[in-house]
Structure 1
Amino acid sequence: MQSQAEANLTEALPAAFYNALKAFLPADNLIRDLARRLAFSGDASFYRLTPKLVVRIDNLIQLSQLLKLASDHLVPVTFRAAGTSLCGQAVTDSVLVTLSEHWRGAEVLEQGTKIRLQPGVIGAQANRMLQPWGRKIGPDPASIDSCKVGGIAANNASGMCCGVKQNSYHTLCDMTLVMADGTVLDTADVKSVTAFENSHGPLLDGLRVLHEQVRQDQALAEKIRHKYRLKNTTGYGINALLDFEQPLDMLKHLMIGSEGTLGFIADITYHTVIDEGHRATGLFIFKDIKQCCELVTRLRDTPVTAVELMDARALKSVADKPAMPAGVAALEERSAALLIEVTGEDEQALHAHLQQVNEVIRPYSGELIASVDFSEDKVRNQQLWAIRKGTFPAVGAVRASGTTVIIEDVAFPVARLAQGVAALHQLFQAHGYNEAIIFGHALEGNLHFVFTQAFNSEDEIRRYDGFMQALSELVTADFGGSLKAEHGTGRNMAPFVKMEWGEDAYGLMEQIKALFDPDGILNPGVILNSDKKAHIRHLKPIPALDPELDKCIECGFCEPVCPSKDLTLTPRQRIALWRQMQGGQFSPAQKQQLQQDYQYLGVDTCAATGLCAQRCPVGINTGDFIKQLRAQKPKGQWLARQAAEHFAGTAVLARFALQSVGLSRNLLGDNNTGAVFKGLNNISGGAIPRWYPAWPVAARQSEAETSKAASTGAAVVYFPSCTNRMFATDTQAEDQRSLQQVLASVLAKAGFRLLVPDNINQLCCGTPWDSKGFKTIAGDKTAQSLAVLAKLAQDEDLPVLIDASPCALQLKQSQSKQEGRALRLYETAEFLYQFVLPRLDINPQQEPVTLHITCSSRRLQSAQHLLALTRACAQQVVVPEDIYCCGFAGDKGFYTPELNASALKDLNTQIPPGCSQGISNSRSCEIGLREHSGIAFQSVAYLLDKVSSRKAGWQGDDFPR
């Protein structure tokens, strides 16, 4: 029977409800425009529902008021944390509640044995906080770098090493939760508990009744115990009714894995687990999966941390990965592999554990096709784990356009694991999923399988439906397994919960839902759903639009590193909204409005740095797509070409403009100067940038020239970026020398001299044009610079030092596409760390420094050089959390300063006491960093020059090779 809440889904939101929301929520927190609602219409699953309203919540009081209103007006509400859920838990066509940046609080308790976390904290961030204590949270989902604690707890996520006993259910200490009627309960606070017992006595009494009901039904009790010996997230965690005597304990453990259908978890306190720091990994490929799975059962009694199984198809999909043994591409179908990790609290413990594990593996050595023996080599072990983690994206990268990737998640009794794999292979063949691969957490019998699926025809939908029906019958009836081991039930498996659990257990779950959410307003349709076809409704279309974008499965792994994530859209949302704009049915007025909104939300506020590609499982660079859109309607192409062809004159004009701004500032003062530029910006339609105090002053034109003869010794070709030629050092910095002078000084100590191209003022790497979509102009400038550098460097194969990380990235990427002899190009920190630092004596400074690692350094894989160099020069180095890109993005900090402000909003609070020096390696980034930190940022070369002296008797090579 359809509930009143479900009926309301087809109607507009009640006006009284919306007006009441406006009374206590800021207008910016109520998102009603179609563009952003479409952007929030999907999660990582293959379902799409467009919310009528997206509400951004800042605090607990707002959330409590919202739920009370929703309860009063019977308005369905769905919560979303990171939206990385795979089964449709975080989509709705009613009200979608998202969390602002104010839900990222975390506190380590009791020497790291506990940690209190708000739902907006990313799982990996919690683990970084616990590292000093050698601890971590128990759950370790594969998405831990992206998913948030709210989703981890609400889905009872586990992972590769977590097993059954370290998930959220088993490591839960306390929580603050908000009930469907808006009541707040803090289970750690006696007063809050007492008040709740008084106000919600019937709920607690109902749990007592269910507890007794289960205890007296021996068959049901034994079924529950059996189910939770496996990994199981299908339905509600009714093991709470058996595991605990007190209703409050039952209540808070039922919240784990409830997927936002019973209440909202406002914070959670975990018992943490030991993070053993010494580890070794090995890969073992077997002739036959039967022997592989037999070994798994024996390994359960050994001190292994993780045992990952991969079938032959999975191995073949990543056959070209580093560290993979030869011949994998020719494996027979019955072959399989185990990736095994062993850990220890110290080296002695690790070796003792390895000895035990090797003794169990040794009798199976005759069954091995190939192996990569256990090693403690961190680089090699990362390569082995990259094999396992690369299986899922390998399927996603080669799927046909217009299809999506589906990853299912079942668990078999470990003793029947080999039979389960064989049965799945037969099922794939019967339903035509010939590309499907299997991998999983073998110790728990937890298997993931990945296949591609189109939903663009009734035949394809029927095929998927038939497969799901057969899968559910196979797992539950034939094997007594779990249909969802760790991904949660969602919409996808809701129609099959009764099949797995049976009438009695399902009835128990319905009673739980009625106790917690009597009006059915919390995430209706998820976990419990009477619609037997719910899993094939509201399917997300994936139109074939672009070979690169078509690979996107909207997983959301890209989002944490995006500088616009709290301002407008994320990379996933840019792609999702664009897809819907191209393939959706909209009125002419809606189309026009969507295009207008996308210009700002999608194009203008995208930093286009490509950092998202590093987190994307299939390497999609959304920034490249945005630059393609900019190229379709480039503004000022003639001026752009003139500036490129007469760049020396352009630089003179730019310095003159900066000098003029400086004079105006001196005459008018900061406030008046800002007001004048704000007015000019408005009048010019954004063509004239806004001004703020961190604006740079003009560099002296002669600075690049003076650096040419500033040192003697082995020659290094030096490419000073145009930003460092145009902008002087920060006026607040202690050292007012130009970067060119500083590099000349520090290289002279190391025995190098700089060679600067004679026509340097005409040269530019091309980044300013590339970021605006002027690909041809950018390519011409890049090629010009590379040709000049080659003329200076190649006869003697001299290294080329580039003093800004964005320029180094642009030149390196362009060179990689060219044929012929390659220049040896080095970004500043990379060159200084590898070739200059060993030639110097360092006296590290005691004063702390704040280090910003630029997005271009991360993409260049030189972040470790910048970090190591800075740590060599200062005793305390602070790298701000959750800032992966400053959002300045070339000149966007001048024209779209709100992007820079949003990306750096948490920077000021992370500057350590006594710190007055910031370190980075991009002058444009340093402008925004100073504006939002209050301290001057400069190149790491300044710090190195300050604390270094020439090492006596250096006997190294004259030239770096």
Structure 2
Amino acid sequence: MEAALVDEYEYAGVNTCAGDSSCAIACPVDIDTGHVMKQVRRDAWSPAAQRVGEEVARRWGVGAAGARVAVGAADVVRRGLGSAGSAALAGVTNAGRALLGEDLVPRWLDAIPGPAPRVPRTRATQQTADAVLFAACINRIFGPPPGSRGALTVTEALVALAERAGKNLWIPDDLGDDCCATIWQSKGLDAGNRLMAARLVEDLHRWSDGGRLPVVVDAASCTLGVLEEVVPHLDDAHRALHDDLTVLDATTWVLREVVPALGDHPTLGTVVVHPTCSMHTLGIADHLRALAGIVAEDVVEPVVATCCGTAGDRAMLHPELTETATLEEVAELAGVDADAWVSGNRTCELGLEHDTGRPYESVVVTLERLTRPASPPNWTSAPSTSGRRAAG
């Protein structure tokens, strides 16, 4: 009986906990159940597993590149075989999950996009930059929504918008081994978490010229990871380096530094917006809403748009989590005809697309399309440009 209860709780309480701490936002006494579940996950790993997690962190550049290749290979199968390809990919991943475990092998979802293009090179250098752009792993691995035409990644869109606004963003050449460490923290892999947190802070300090340049992060969960979640895992010397840093989410930076320089541009009719848990935790959900209000005349934010349950890889490990978490949101959006569906974190967008069937993307990508010079935006669905809005 005890063993059965433990097994049931492992699924119901630990493995299907998003671990995003959004429960603490709703709790009147700030109880953070997500943090507790991460500690439970940590205590469940053997010393050998912790060493494996540390080695993965040490060689993360290879791991991230491998993930991108795998996404690319899957996309080739899907595009080549269509629905039969998707069925084959689902069969392969389901077999792997049965063999190795549902919490190790992700499930194939049709919402999984193709691979991201290589990180763009910018004209700026560290000496001429206004800010450092830290391109998150998820934006180096996952590309735009499947089937989108002419879409950019949020990293590419940020570079384009910065140039358009006369701002210099610099992307370091050697960021391939770096990550916000959220992967290791979420899974309770402490050794890898500490290694990655220390490396990240050292590199951000170097790239930012000792904190002279602000660091812009292009995924909200990674912004939270860099700004807050790595700190408890740093020693005193690395905390001192972290104290020198100014870290901004892409939505915040674009709203403050880019939008005032863009001038007038076409606007959409309606946009649906989903603020992520990380945005709520950071207190920047209003920045997403403000950008949504700049790209569209009518902004629809579902009343029940809370945690989507994606939590990085949870949507691929336990799709039932996101499907349940968004049931009310999907129902509220039934019949809504929008020109764009926006958020601010690539994996959350992936989970939302799986649940709603809508092509969610970063609002930064949407803004870039609307302000492209020389040619009209290339939309997956025709936008309404009935109004024009001053971007300031």
State TM-score, norm by structure 1.
0.36
Cα pair distance change 1:661/1:822, threshold 3 Å: same
Task: Please state whether the residue corresponding to 2:297 is helix, strand or coil.
Answer: coil
Cα pair distance change 1:796/1:610, threshold 3 Å: closer
Task: Please state whether the residue corresponding to 2:272 is helix, strand or coil.
Answer: strand
Please list the CA deviations of residues 573-604 of structure 1 after superposition, one character each: whole Å capped at 9, or x if unmatched: xxxxxxxxxxxxxxxx3x22221111011101
Would you say 1:600 and 2:11 are equivalent positions?
Answer: yes
1:855 equivalent in structure 2: 277
CA distance in 1, matches of 2:186, 2:245: 24
Would you say 1:780 and 2:203 are equivalent positions?
Answer: no
Paired residues of 1:707 and 1:754 also in contact (CA < 8 A)? no
Paired residues of 1:847 and 1:914 also in contact (CA < 8 A)? no
Task: Please state whether the residue corresponding to 2:35 is helix, strand or coil.
Answer: helix
Match of 2:32 among 603, 607, 621: 621
Match of 1:669 among 85, 99, 105: 85
CA distance in 1, matches of 2:259, 2:168: 15
Give the partner amino acid of 1:855. Answer: C
Task: Please state whether the residue corresponding to 1:620 is helix, strand or coil.
Answer: coil
Paired residues of 1:920 and 1:937 also in contact (CA < 8 A)? yes
Identity %, equivalent residues: 30
CA distance in 1, matches of 2:211, 2:188: 36
Paired residues of 1:631 and 1:773 also in contact (CA < 8 A)? yes
CA distance in 2, matches of 1:790, 1:699: 26
Match of 1:648 among 61, 65, 71: 61
Give the partner amino acid of 2:263. Answer: D
Please list the CA deviations of residues 88-145 of structure 1 after superposition, one character each: whole Å capped at 9, or x if unmatched: xxxxxxxxxxxxxxxxxxxxxxxxxxxxxxxxxxxxxxxxxxxxxxxxxxxxxxxxxx
Cα pair distance change 1:819/1:625, threshold 3 Å: same
Match of 1:749 among 164, 173, 177: 164
Give the partner amino acid of 2:152. Answer: R
Give the Å deviation of 1:759: 1.4
Unaligned segments of structure 2, at least 5 residues? 233-238, 374-392
Q: How does 1:774-813 map to 2 (within 5 A)?
A: 774-795=189-210, 797-813=212-228
Cα pair distance change 1:626/1:750, threshold 3 Å: same
Paired residues of 2:58 and 2:192 also in contact (CA < 8 A)? no
Would you say 1:926 and 2:349 are equivalent positions?
Answer: yes
Would you say 1:692 and 2:109 are equivalent positions?
Answer: yes
Match of 2:303 among 881, 900, 909: 881
Cα pair distance change 1:611/1:913, threshold 3 Å: closer
Please list the CA deviations of residues 303-333 of structure 1 after superposition, one character each: whole Å capped at 9, or x if unmatched: xxxxxxxxxxxxxxxxxxxxxxxxxxxxxxx
CA distance in 2, matches of 1:691, 1:814: 29
Give the Å deviation of 1:794: 3.7
Give the partner amino acid of 2:42. Answer: A
CA distance in 2, matches of 1:663, 1:752: 36
Paired residues of 1:707 and 1:741 also in contact (CA < 8 A)? no
Give the partner amino acid of 2:94. Answer: K
Paired residues of 1:842 and 1:949 also in contact (CA < 8 A)? no
Would you say 1:819 and 2:230 are equivalent positions?
Answer: no
1:639 equivalent in structure 2: 52
Q: How does 1:268-417 map to 2 (within 5 A)?
A: none
2:94 equivalent in structure 1: 678
Would you say 1:732 and 2:144 are equivalent positions?
Answer: no
Match of 1:834 among 256, 281, 286: 256
Q: How does 1:579-598 map to 2 (within 5 A)?
A: 589=1, 591-598=2-9
Unaligned segments of structure 1, at least 5 residues? 1-588, 951-961
2:367 equivalent in structure 1: 944
With a CA cutoff of 8 Å and minimum separation of 6, indicate the structure with the bigger relative contact order. 2
Task: Please state whether the residue corresponding to 1:945 is helix, strand or coil.
Answer: helix
Give the Å deviation of 1:949: 7.1
> More helix per residue: 1 or 2?
2
CA distance in 2, matches of 1:733, 1:860: 30
State TM-score, norm by structure 2.
0.85
Give the Å deviation of 1:714: 4.7
Would you say 1:867 and 2:292 are equivalent positions?
Answer: no
Structure with higher Rg: it is: 1
Would you say 1:901 and 2:317 are equivalent positions?
Answer: no
Cα pair distance change 1:777/1:815, threshold 3 Å: closer
CA distance in 2, matches of 1:735, 1:902: 32
> More strand per residue: 1 or 2?
1
Cα pair distance change 1:816/1:839, threshold 3 Å: farther
Task: Please state whether the residue corresponding to 1:880 is helix, strand or coil.
Answer: coil
Give the Å deviation of 1:652: 1.8
Give the Å deviation of 1:783: 2.2
Give the Å deviation of 1:683: 2.8
Coordinate RMSD, CA, aligned? 2.2
